[in-house]
């Protein structure tokens, strides 16, 4: 049996590298996989931490049906998703960093996509919705300093979410 073209072992090894490189873009020694592992671990840990730590530590400026909290550390690491209490209080909002100092890179990207026509019907909470859903400092201090379990009526009022009826809760961005 005669081979049609034989450039030796070097050529076949190079062809294998090219084919494998086109498929999964990794080198033979695995350095690409090893280099991407820390970033994958970091992103996954930040995401999972937002869903766990932000239900334990942080501030709770808005009423919600759970113990979600805004955590500034994860607000920055999670590109805006660490403002978790705001996310739970206004679940259909694209913007979670409602204060000027709350960094929300995710919203900036969504706003940019909207400007280029790649996103539409972007919703953000109106000022009226924000003020009506805010827990005021007196209610927060009563909730945190009480040694006795509060009566069921006060807990229900702190955790009651507003009924979202149509568009009046949100304004167009």
Euclidean distance between CA atoms 69 and 144, whole angstroms:
13
For 62, other C-beta atoms within 10 Å of its C-beta total: 24
Tell whether the torsion through CA atoms of 94, 96, 100 and 105 is positive or negative. negative
Euclidean distance between CA atoms 41 and 51, whole angstroms:
16
pTM summary value: 0.60
**For the chain, what are the domain ranges?**
54-172
pLDDT in tens, the chain (173 residues): 555 555 555 544 554 444 444 445 555 666 777 788 888 999 899 988 898 999 999 999 999 889 999 999 999 999 999 999 999 999 999 999 999 999 999 999 999 999 999 999 999 999 999 999 998 754 444 444 444 444 444 444 444 444 444 444 555 55
């Amino acid at each position: 049996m005669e081979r049609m073209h034989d450039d030796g072992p070097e050529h076949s090894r190079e062809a294998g590298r090219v084919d494998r490189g086109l498929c999964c873009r990794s080198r033979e020694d695995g350095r690409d996989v090893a280099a991407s592992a820390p970033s994958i671990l970091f992103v996954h840990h930040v995401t999972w931490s937002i869903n766990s730590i932000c239900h334990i530590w942080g501030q709770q400026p808005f009423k919600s049906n759970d113990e979600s909290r805004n955590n500034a550390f994860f607000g920055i690491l999670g590109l805006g998703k660490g403002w978790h209490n705001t996310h739970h209080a206004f679940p259909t909002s694209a913007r979670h960093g409602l204060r000027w100092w709350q960094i929300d890179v995710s919203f900036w990207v969504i706003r940019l996509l909207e400007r280029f026509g790649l996103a539409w019907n972007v919703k953000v909470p109106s000022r009226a919705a924000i003020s009506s859903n805010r827990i005021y400092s007196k209610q927060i201090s009563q909730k945190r300093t009480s040694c006795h379990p509060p009566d069921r009526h006060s807990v229900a009022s702190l955790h009651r979410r507003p009924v979202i009826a149509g568009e009046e809760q949100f304004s167009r961005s």
